[in-house]
Chain A
């Protein structure tokens, strides 16, 4: 059984030629993909193309083996399955995979197949930002809420990445070592990897502590290295990278055609967002936003995926599949409103907002004033703001008893038509209309 996770990371010091990293980047990519080409050039593990598919050439237990990326992903998922089983969840392994939002269908398919091969039952794949939103139940308790939420992720292989923080810290520690002992660590790749691993630990410590001890045994030519790093020093080291965050947010707002003040919530993802200065700089750059980081940032996506799996578990498998495929939904083009008149102005009360998917149903109960014996309900179509685009219909009831209770049901059918029913409770009078959709 190959080593996975932290054990493999430790082993990378001595065994770089046989330690595969970031296999998720290349899974499902075709052989002429640019990213795959870059990966092959930069990977310490030898790679070749066999039958137009990338293959790692590694040595395991004294034997040379050709391992495709799918097998490595499968090994990772097998270890995850063992972990899940050790927590006593029996034989059920219904899962939802969270994948980067720029994953293609081929990549989603490849990663799903690896997880299925390992023993999981992959119900669905969701995007990582969507997973992050699900973890905080944004939009799940109330479906009328509309807001702009920024999912900020510090992962790997991006402009702002956790590995870049480690790089800066490693460079700093290397210069400290040189000052002390006049020995250049970068002459030995093994020493650099060793130092890098320790720098990673220091980075993790400094997210919660003010100071961290860096201690590496026999770093270079038998010389031990001990050093103390303060958070202030660390923050000054990573400030060039952290300063990129606001500009990234600016670019995103420009692309999405909103302003920074429009962002109402920010979900923090990735271990890198635990760093206090990163949180501070994002808080400063988004004044109106509520920072959501109660859930540990490095677990946010996993929790969201788990919640999605909880929703899907129990449903029929064919239903899950069909639901996944039918993600195109017919919706209302404009809002449907009711003219609710008052003394001075004509106010519009929205019943179905724009982009409400079919079918949909809404139920309202209105109690008329004691002196009112009749009412009229005028339906109209509106675009944004309070302006009527078109009148749709009118329901009128006359000769109603005092303090009449009217039950109104708005039913937006799957064919797009609107059916409205008004019913008075005591007298059981009923009025209904059907508004057809334009052809």
Chain B
């Protein structure tokens, strides 16, 4: 860039104005954009070509502390280097633990340039010999802070760190956030996790508060206390001593670490105790529970009330209904009475008209007997005719035509007589029907002889009072499949048989015998003379069929059968095996079961006779 020579008359001046600037939208990326934003925010500007566009703040930070570091450094004692504040020695009092590795290095180099013994000698400043000079402290500080591990160690026991914990008292509760927020911010630097939740504000929601306390109760601290070791492990003379030193150091570190955790725990406990939001959350929870409970109670109470109300309502309705019904009945009765009275009046009137009319016509006859009859008929008509018929009759009677009136009168009389007769006849029919009905009911359904026999068997088998009395109806069905008798019929018949049982029993027995004889005759006839032209014959006797089908022969025992049984009983005594089988073989008309049953019956009869005899003997 070449600047032309100025003429003598030239003078500095402003001749124009800049154009109105334009606004453009840029992509927020890259270092120049960041530098521009920083420039816009800062009060003063720096050169456009600066390489440290992002780190300009840090450069400014390091320029501090130059004024008073001479006094500090001269006052240092190299023997007590471990107790010094390494940050102050290097001129990083403001940054302290926030200083980066590069910043520490830079600071150390600046210190070396100014305070190295050779440099001071060149300036003519007095220098102590060897390790006694304060520059040793600078070297030690660099050794400590330049090494990340040792820096961390020193940071853990930073003398400027505020260790105190806000107490748990009323004042803390009142100024909770002012007291505890800085405390938590101070202690946040010990967290191994970089992202530390903040204490928040009074209106922070439950989740964030919960996260906060969870985090702090589970805090992992990197703070360690190796810097405070009394002796270095490497100073030990032998292996055993070194191990002993290590053990001692470890114990001391553990103890301090434990105290630290107790302190952190105390801090969080105090915060939790003093936190107004915790109390509020608890209150809210309690309130919620209470409201739920109250709602439940209210619902229950309402339910009871509702039920009572419904009950009352029902009662009220019932009462009202009753009252209404009563009223209706009353009104109806009144109306009925009124109507009745009215009708009575009309009747009275009509009857009077009738009597008068007939009387006028002198009862349509000249004969006294007829007159008397007609007089009674008039009374009967008056009593029994309906109002309509009365009215029509009266109309005809009062028409003025005597013959017509007479005819009408006689017609009515005849009608009345006919009706009376009909009614009488009906009554007679009813009476006759009732009497015949009883008879027909007694004989309602025709019972065959077989059914009657089955019924008798059932009745004998199950006498009155036994549990299975009604089984009698089944017996009929068992024996006679095409029976149409139900339980009711059976009961009715049984009762009939009870009433006139002797006659019926005798009839039944007689019929049974006749039937038996008929069967015998049929059997004989069949054996003797088979009918010609009959295609199918019965080869099976009735008793055989019965035994095959049901296992028993219900027919009564004949004298012949009895004789054979008694003979067989004698022939086959009780000692014989399968005695009853052999007995039944001798009696073809009876099954084994029948023989046993008959035998039992006979035994019972003999016992009864003996008992009767004994009783008679005792009486004598």
Contact = CB atoms under 8 A, between A and B. Distances in A.
Contact of B30 (A311, A324, A360, A406): A311
Interface stretch (A159-167, A289-297, A338-346): A338-346
Interface stretch (A53-61, A146-154, A198-206, A427-435): A427-435
Residue among B10, B19, B26 with the highest chain A CB neighbour number at 10 A: B19
A395 B12 CA distance: 4
Interface stretch (B46-54, B484-492, B513-521, B542-550): B46-54
A413 B40 CA distance: 9
B11 interface: yes
Residue among B29, B32, B34, B37 with the highest chain A CB neighbour number at 10 A: B29
Interface stretch (B1-9, B143-151, B414-422): B1-9
Interface stretch (A80-88, A121-129, A176-184, A218-226): A121-129
Interface in A319-368: 319, 322-324, 326-334, 336, 338-342, 349, 355, 357-364, 366, 368
Contacts, number: 188
B27 A126 contact: yes
A191 B371 CA distance: 128
A414 to B, nearest CB: 6
B536 to A, nearest CB: 78
A434 to B, nearest CB: 7
A126 B28 contact: yes
A308 interface: yes
Chain B facing A: main interface SS: loop
Interface stretch (B60-68, B190-198, B236-244, B608-616): B190-198
A392 B11 CA distance: 14
A319 B37 contact: yes
Contact of B54 (A121, A311, A434): A311
A436 B15 CA distance: 10
A375 interface: yes
Given A328-B23, A331-B23, A357 B18 contact: no
Interface string B13-38: 11111111111111111111110110
Nearest to A332: B21
Contacts of B20: 333, 437-439
A341 B2 contact: yes
B6 A91 contact: no
A329 B23 contact: yes
Given A315-B54, A361-B47, A396-B10, A323 B21 contact: no
B152 to A, nearest CB: 14
Residue among A319, A328, A396, A411 with the highest chain B CB neighbour number at 10 A: A396
A175 interface: no
Contacts of B54: 311, 314-315
B579 interface: no
B23 to A, nearest CB: 5
A439 B37 CA distance: 24
Contact of B37 (A326, A396, A417): A326
B57 to A, nearest CB: 9
A332 B33 CA distance: 16
Contact of B24 (A312, A355, A381): A355
Nearest to B31: A311
Nearest to A432: B12
Interface residues of A, number: 79
B45 interface: yes
A396 B11 contact: yes
A398 B14 CA distance: 17
A143 interface: yes
Contacts of A413: 45
Interface string A54-83: 000000000000000000000000000000
B39 interface: yes
A281 to B, nearest CB: 29
Contacts of B30: 130, 134, 139-140, 308, 311
B37 A331 contact: no
A370 to B, nearest CB: 13
A328 B25 contact: yes
B58 to A, nearest CB: 9
Given A91-B192, A376-B4, A376-B6, A437 B36 contact: no
A359 B3 contact: no
Contact of B193 (A91, A406, A433): A91
Contact of B32 (A143, A334, A362, A377): A143
A178 B334 CA distance: 109
Given A332-B21, A361-B45, A394-B10, 13 more contacts: A91-B192, A143-B48, A308-B30, A311-B30, A323-B34, A324-B28, A329-B26, A330-B23, A333-B22, A358-B21, A361-B46, A375-B4, A392-B18
Interface of A: 90-92, 121, 124, 126-127, 130-131, 134, 139-140, 143, 308, 311-312, 314-315, 319, 322-324, 326-334, 336, 338-342, 349, 355, 357-364, 366, 368, 372, 374-377, 381, 390-398, 406, 411, 413-414, 416-418, 431, 433-439
